[in-house]
Structure 1
Amino acid sequence: MSRKVTVVLSQAPGKNPAKRSLEESIAAALLFEPGVDVSIVPNLYDLGPDHTGRMFLEGLGGDVIVLSWLYPRAAFWLLDRDGIKGHFGETQLKPPGDDDEEEPEEVGEKPSAIGPSGAIPDRHIYTLDLRDFNKPEPYLTEVRRIVAECQDRRAKKAAEKAATAAPVIVQLGLLTKPPQEFAPDQLLAPAGRRWYPVIDYSRCTNCLECLDFCLFGVYGVDAFDRIITENQDQCKKGCPACSRVCPQQAIIFPEYKSAAIAGGEGATVGGLKIDLSKLFGGGDAADPLAAAVAERDRELVADGRAAVGTTVGLPKRQTGTAGPKDDLDKLVDDLDSLGL
């Protein structure tokens, strides 16, 4: 495991001077921090498999702190889908105003998520959102706290290992290949803009509704019948329709304008957070399902295909077919029983 904590600063797309200034201020300050290695890469979401920035990230060992212009949940699962795995590192950095907001109420019992696939390395990945503050100090303070946390955890594990160490057996073997090194200008090679879904496997229950709904071949299943984004670059730019039909809000489009779809915590697409005024004829908020169908039809027509409306790939509840009732069904039944 690496003795230093790697801090990766992911640049914002575009050339916004205020964002560049914040990135440069943080990077310059961290260059002098003990126990830290600092690297800068382009926007995480745009890094393709052949980009040097992506290959650099794949070769990292040890704990990692990522500062990006994405929600922390989105950044973590984006890294996971790219094979950069680890345990989710809890941070204490909260955007202004978060302390005043009420915690969202839990509705019913959540279905079990399938969780990440493969072996998870013995390290933590911390993700910080550069949109939370417009000055470097809060980020520098949190990086220092995380570095100290990682050092303490590493020291405790070393002590435990030493206490239970078996006799040392010296073996001769082949030297391991050193990690590939990249020059800073290689890491910052321009990356083309991309658009594709990211699956949060801490929420995904493998219901496959996204696979049924998407008609562009984006989704598939792996050898274990787990949902994956199989052909992510076939996704239609700006279309988040599959995210709207996901019952667990497990599908993230990190750069979408809505926090619920972009990976924000506590935000909802529409699911069980019901505006009761809509049930009684008030309100004018768009139905997430109707929006999803409209978005999908628009892209089908743009592809020269016929629109399908609500005839293909809708969740069981919306098609009226028999299926186990969830909390929304129970709420509607309760309202019916009251004669309202």
Structure 2
Amino acid sequence: MKMKPLGKTGIEVSELCLGSMTWGARNDAEEAHEQIDRAIEAGVNFIDTAEMYPVNPVRAETIGRTERILGLWLEARERREDVVIATKHSGEGQKMVREGAPITAETIPDAVDGSLRRLKTDYIDLYQFHWPNRGSYMFRKNWTYDPSGQDRAAIIQNMEDCIGALEDEVRRGRIRAFGLSNESAWGTLQWIAASERVGGPRPATVQNEYSLMCRLFDTDMAETCLNEEVGLLAFSPIAQGLLSGKYQNGAVPGRSRMKKNPDLGGRVTDRAFAAVDTYLAIARKHGLDPVQMALAWCLTRPFMASVIFGATTLDQLDVALGAADVTLSQEVLDDITIAHRAHPMPY
């Protein structure tokens, strides 16, 4: 398992990151702990979670449950120094967390308190803002995204205030680094500029959706992050399971995400299944597992810090972990480029 830097922080993380959003919903604590043990045995040292997890769906009664499950593992194994923990402060509009309050300098200390308590730890390695207060074009909102009503001065002031609050947390030793999520190129640059003006933590990472089927990151965000040394933490690299092929021809496996979320967050379209057929054909042609091909391709991208994947079974976990040992030939990469041009926006 290769190690990669988290921006300019000096923190090193495994190129594959264990996602946790099923823990407490589709996976109980025992299953989650088995996943963590197996991933660490394979060389993973990076685990991503969030205060609002589990999801699909988000329920008031399960808010924070995933962090608690991870905290129980940390308490039982006594291996805090062996893992890098990333969690997230929910953004504006999530009614089941702080009644939908936006991220502000005032909400940060209490949110950090809650995460530390549930995680049973004294510090968070990477503290991320789950989505911008002003909204985001992620999650299929790119089709209707309209930033014309934004108040630039208020946005910048909020960023500076939040950076100040984060710096207080750094000084207290409660967070080590700061990351963004579901952010744009303009937003990323403004957070960097605010950190330079205020003197607080600089964004080290941005966690955005990225896969063979979702490549919005490839242009402005790629340029921004490469030049500013902000690493991508890619989520949904298997397109919520679509790229495994398990949903082709109308199939809906029993414990799958589609069972709970039929449109997979807007990803289920006729174009999507046609694109998956093309990528499955590439995997068959080259004798590759399609999940490993999808993850290994993400690992080839020059802006990638770590690829976040999740699993509901240990068999799925083992397949995903195997991607670290897969090297894609130039012929495979060329076939993927041809497929992307034929299916540029599957959803």
Into which bin does the TM-score normalised by the smaller protein fall? under 0.3
- The two structures have a TM-score, normalised by structure 2, of 0.24
Larger Rg: 1
- Higher percent of residues as helix: 2
